[in-house]
């Protein structure tokens, strides 16, 4: 590889490294290099892969640990079932996800992409190692012996099938997956068809599309890259130390030639003694010469191991997923040439410039505080979460003064309610007012049935003794109780005395 000069630098800001000048795809043949970061990533990948594959089949308290049941509009998380009526929880979770992402990106850059993202975990820890094992190294399956390519695709098909199983179970549930897809796939074309589409997508993604998912499709990567600042920890090349780059041998040659040039000058002759004739006084010892190049020997290994084919020496780029493969590659090279590690390392721009990296800065403090508040709100709401959600509706009938069936002087009011069942079983509900009020509730039937995950409306008529009103307004707590008297849900409403 020729030494790179500024004029020869590719236009890396406007051209994808994986696309050639004609706009055709350049197949990324990323090499796998072992180093401390690869070992850490592998150690993390094992539990992550187990988690991603097993989570749809794990049950907590008889309910799925994670299931996104679109058909019945239910979402299971950690054994708790959420219904569309639980939108507030999703809003809080979504806000938490956004703010948590902002905080993580501000502190650690794209750590999710390189270390946790299922796409990169499976591509770099499963599919690419399998490819290298079978093809004997990085290679384009289209250009390798047919039997090796066929074997590789056969193994890819098996892995993609396994992942499609887990993906399908996330959407239809472990039991339905077992019954519909494994045992009786022909009788359930929708479930089987979903599995088939997922399988093709997974095989296409990991077998062919690969890095383009990160560089072309994923909006999350672009969003994260835009959120980096000069204090964010990124995978960075230390240009001050590495430049001007040059091949080791050529650099040495340059140093030598520079030394010879200097030696041929009269001033240099006096300094170094080169060119001094025999019999002259012994020349002074040569002074150490300044290194003519930086620590980067321009071996290009950091580019060849990059799964998105970028050259990190050009600075942080949109395509960098912070996988740290180039750090391992460069550390290995530095070990070989006897230079200190860390020419490419995790560092912020501030650290590279020799300044201190600030973790606590206004945006990280703000994100952390908002995250803590959102977590607190979520916990508070989850603790108060009941199976029955009672929502008072607008009262259209004006309350009147009327004697109740027992002849007491009461305020009679109609209280329209919406009753939402957030559990996965039918609920039989009676509406009560606090016993202390000695109020009477009249409904068309004593117990209303609210179907699992369903919503009904009801308009109980309440008779509240006139003596309970100290002013013209009375706030009353409405309770929904089951047949055993257990309170399933509660709501506050106001009754106005005539």
Binding of ligand SF4 by 344 (CB under 6 A)? yes
Tokens 């509406």, located at residue: 431
Figure out which of the listed residues 169, 325, 352, 495 binds ligand SF4, where binding follows CB under 6 A.
325
Contact predicate 194/176, CB 8 Å: no
Tokens 């040495």, located at residue: 252
Q: State in angstroms the smallest separation of the CB of 158 from ligand SF4.
A: 28
Is cis: bond before 330, omega within 30 of 0?
Answer: no
Figure out which of the listed residues 16, 166, 326, 476 binds ligand SF4, where binding follows CB under 6 A.
326
Question: Considering only CA atoms, which of 194, 173, 178 is closest in space to residue 76?
Answer: 173
Question: Considering only CA atoms, which of 484, 384, 380 is closest in space to residue 427?
Answer: 484
Binding of ligand SF4 by 233 (CB under 6 A)? no
Q: What is the DSSP letter of 281?
A: P
Q: State in angstroms the smallest separation of the CB of 332 from ligand SF4.
A: 8
Closest to ligand SF4 by CB, 342 vs 416, is 342
Binding of ligand SF4 by 235 (CB under 6 A)? yes
How many of the chain's residues bind ligand SF4 (CB under 6 A)?
30
Closest to ligand SF4 by CB, 298 vs 387, is 298
In degrees and rounded to multiples of 5, residue 431 shows phi and psi of -95, 130
Q: State in angstroms the smallest separation of the CB of 329 from ligand SF4.
A: 5
CA distances from 289 to 88, 271, 297, 337 (A): 69, 12, 18, 18
Q: State in angstroms the smallest separation of the CB of 111 from ligand SF4.
A: 11
Q: State in angstroms the smallest separation of the CB of 449 from ligand SF4.
A: 57
Q: State in angstroms the smallest separation of the CB of 320 from ligand SF4.
A: 3
User: Per CB under 6 A, which region of 39-47, 219-227, 253-261, 326-334 contacts ligand SF4?
Assistant: 326-334
User: Per CB under 6 A, which region of 59-67, 251-259, 312-320, 369-377 contacts ligand SF4?
Assistant: 312-320
Closest to ligand SF4 by CB, 206 vs 237, is 237
Binding of ligand SF4 by 123 (CB under 6 A)? no
Binding mask 268-307 for ligand SF4 (x = CB under 6 A): ----------------------------xxxxxxx--xxx
Binding of ligand SF4 by 329 (CB under 6 A)? yes
Figure out which of the listed residues 117, 324, 389, 476 binds ligand SF4, where binding follows CB under 6 A.
324
Tokens 């929880």, located at residue: 89
Q: Which residues of 46-84 are buried (b: 16+ CB within 10 A; e: fewer)?
A: eebbeebbeebbeeeeebbbbbebeeeebbbbeebbbbe
Figure out which of the listed residues 313, 412, 432, 481 binds ligand SF4, where binding follows CB under 6 A.
313
Binding of ligand SF4 by 352 (CB under 6 A)? no
Figure out which of the listed residues 106, 135, 233, 312 binds ligand SF4, where binding follows CB under 6 A.
312
Closest to ligand SF4 by CB, 297 vs 417, is 297
Closest to ligand SF4 by CB, 233 vs 306, is 306
- The phi-psi region of residue 447 (left if phi > 0; otherwise alpha if psi is between -120 and 50; otherwise beta) is beta
* Percent of the chain as helix, strand, coil, to the nearest 5: 45, 15, 35
Closest to ligand SF4 by CB, 179 vs 228, is 228
Q: State in angstroms the smallest separation of the CB of 39 from ligand SF4.
A: 15
Write out the H or E segment, with its range, that includes residue 6.
none
Q: Find the distance separating the first CA and the last CA of the chain, reported in whole Å.
A: 92
Closest to ligand SF4 by CB, 297 vs 458, is 297
Beta strands 63-64 and 234-237, pairing class: unpaired
SS3 (DSSP) at 99: helix
Tokens 């509660």, located at residue: 490
Q: State in angstroms the smallest separation of the CB of 88 from ligand SF4.
A: 38
Binding of ligand SF4 by 321 (CB under 6 A)? yes
Closest to ligand SF4 by CB, 148 vs 241, is 241
CA pair distance 115, 104, nearest whole angstrom? 13
Q: Which residues of 172-190 are buried (b: 16+ CB within 10 A; e: fewer)?
A: bbbebbebbbeeeeeebee
Binding of ligand SF4 by 236 (CB under 6 A)? no
CA pair distance 41, 126, nearest whole angstrom? 12
Residues that bind ligand SF4 (CB under 6 A): 235, 237, 242, 245, 296-302, 305-308, 310, 312-313, 320-326, 329-330, 333, 343-344
């Amino acid at each position: 590889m020729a030494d790179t000069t500024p004029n020869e630098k590719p236009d890396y800001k406007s051209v994808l490294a994986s696309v050639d000048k004609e706009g055709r795809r350049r197949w990324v043949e990323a090499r796998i290099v072992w180093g401390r970061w690869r070992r850490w990533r592998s150690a993390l990948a094992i539990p992550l892969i187990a988690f991603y594959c097993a989570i749809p089949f794990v049950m907590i308290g008889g309910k799925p640990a994670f299931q996104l049941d679109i058909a019945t509009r239910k979402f299971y998380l950690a054994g708790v079932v959420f219904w569309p009526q639980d939108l507030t929880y999703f809003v809080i979770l979504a806000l938490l996800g956004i703010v948590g992402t902002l905080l993580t990106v501000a502190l650690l850059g794209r750590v999710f992409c390189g270390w946790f993202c299922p796409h990169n975990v499976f591509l770099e820890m499963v599919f690419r190692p399998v490819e290298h094992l079978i093809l004997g190294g990085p290679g384009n399956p289209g250009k390798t012996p047919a039997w090796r390519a066929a074997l590789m695709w056969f193994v890819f098909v098996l892995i993609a099938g396994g992942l499609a199983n887990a993906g399908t179970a996330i959407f239809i549930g472990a039991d339905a997956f077992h019954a519909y897809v494994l045992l009786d796939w022909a009788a359930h074309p929708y479930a089987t068809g979903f599995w088939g589409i997922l399988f093709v997508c997974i095989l296409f993604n990991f077998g062919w599309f690969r890095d383009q998912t990160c560089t072309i499709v994923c909006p999350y990567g672009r969003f994260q890259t835009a959120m980096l600042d000069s204090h964010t920890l990124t995978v960075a090349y230390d240009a001050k130390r590495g430049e001007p780059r040059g091949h080791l041998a050529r650099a040495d040659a340059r140093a030598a030639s520079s030394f010879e040039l200097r030696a041929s000058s009269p001033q240099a002759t006096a300094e170094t003694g080169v060119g001094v004739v025999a019999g002259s006084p012994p020349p002074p010892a040569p002074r150490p010469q300044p290194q003519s190049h930086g620590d980067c020997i321009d071996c290009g290994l950091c580019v060849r191991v990059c799964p998105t084919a970028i050259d990190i020496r050009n600075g942080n780029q949109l395509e960098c997923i912070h996988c740290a493969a180039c750090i391992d590659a460069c550390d290995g090279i530095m070990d070989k040439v006897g230079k200190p590690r860390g020419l490419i390392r995790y560092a912020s721009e501030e650290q590279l410039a020799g300044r201190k990296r600030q973790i606590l800065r206004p945006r990280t403090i703000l994100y952390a505080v908002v995250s803590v508040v959102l977590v607190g709100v979520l916990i508070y709401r989850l603790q108060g979460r009941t199976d029955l959600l009672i929502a008072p509706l607008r009262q259209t009938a004006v309350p009147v003064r009327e004697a109740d069936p027992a002849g007491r002087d009461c305020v009679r009011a109609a209280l329209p309610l919406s009753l939402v069942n957030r559990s996965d079983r039918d609920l039989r509900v009676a509406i009560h007012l606090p016993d202390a009020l000695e109020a009477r509730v009249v409904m068309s039937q004593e117990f209303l049935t609210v179907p699992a995950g369903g919503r009904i409306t009801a308009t109980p008529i309440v008779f509240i003794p006139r003596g309970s009103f100290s002013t013209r307004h009375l706030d009353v707590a409405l309770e929904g109780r089951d047949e055993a008297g257990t309170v399933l849900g509660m709501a506050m409403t106001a009754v106005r005395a005539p």
